[in-house]
Structure 1
Amino acid sequence: MGKQNFVECERKGLERLINFRLPHYFYNIGMVIAGLAIVMMFVRAFALEGDQDVLKEVLKKVLLIGMMFMSIARDKFEDEMIVKLRMQSYTYAFVAGVIYALIMPFVEYGVSNALKPEGEAFHDIGDFQLLLFILMVQLLCFHTLKRMR
């Protein structure tokens, strides 16, 4: 395999990855999955008794999967402008996520030490909290940008 063929093959693979979108009905499936996960989180918190740590972790993952389906599903009328707006929203979400991950631990540390005299140890935010924030920012930015166009 020549160098040119290798480069062309890699470029095609990268383009397929960049342009990957689920069909539009996955947006609705994602909304149902995320909605059910949120409802089940409330049921777990208020109605179920006992230690439900495994259920809590599973529901977190299910919520992220539902939001991911919503994020990568095609729009009803997918054109170049929608693709551009989607990429802008991913950029905004990434930048906001990095800023959030850098600042939020200090905010939590300061607030917890201001409210509790005994203080609390410094700790980073978790992966679920960061991924949830990034997906929420992306979805909100995308729909806001779509409305503004």
Structure 2
Amino acid sequence: MRLLPRRFKKLAYSLLALSILFITFSVTKVIAIDDEIAKTIFRLGVLLSFLLLALTRDKIEDELTLVIRLKALASSFIFGVGYVVVSPFVSWLFDGEFIVEDLGIEGLLLTMFLFYFGMFGLMKRNR
């Protein structure tokens, strides 16, 4: 698996910081922009920065780290598919009160990335 060079982590963190700064300025009305457009730009910036972080190599990248990365990616995918399959049944079971609003594609990808980073960090720590 070919990963991006380590310097892309700085780019990803910068993009994440800019996205957070942008949404902060938008909420405080420093920047006059429609709320939906601001949310979309924020979500895309966060998702792109998470993608860059997930595809960038670590300082020490060996075969075990690659195996851990692939296991975390597979578990994140299984989590996402499981969520999409199970959530309609849970919503039906609780008469739609359990899930307040539809998560959407961006929300699903965000939770999958967060699950990936959590699993990757946990597996890496417990080598």
Sort the TM-score into its range (normalised by shorter chain). Answer: 0.7 to 0.9
**Higher Cα Rg: structure 1 or 2?**
1
Q: Which residue of 2 aligns with 1:20?
A: 2
Distance 2:99 2:125 in 1: 38
> Are residues 88 and 26 of structure 1, via their aligned partners in 2, closer, same or farther at CA, if it must alter by over 3 Å?
same
Residue 130 of structure 1 corresponds to: 108
Q: Count residues with an aligned counterpart.
A: 121
After the TM superposition, which segments of 4 or more aligned residues of structure 1 sit over 4 Å from their partners? none
TM-score computed with the length of structure 2 as normaliser: 0.81
Contact 2:6/2:56 (<8 A) preserved? yes
Higher helix share: 1
How far apart in 1 are the matches of 2:35 and 2:103? 21
Q: Deviations over 1:89-147 (max 9, x none)?
A: 0011111111222334527922368xxxxxxxxx7531100111111111111111111
Q: Which residue of 2 aligns with 1:53?
A: 36
**Is 2:89 aligned against 1:89?**
no
Structure 1 pair 55–108 and aligned structure 2 pair: CA distance change class (3 A): farther
CA RMSD of aligned residues (A): 2.4
Which residue in 2 is equivalent to 1:44?
Answer: 26
Q: TM-score, normalised by structure 1?
A: 0.70
- Unpaired runs of 5+ residues, structure 1, are 1-18, 114-122
Contact 1:33 1:63 in 2 (8 A): yes
Match of 1:7 in 2: none
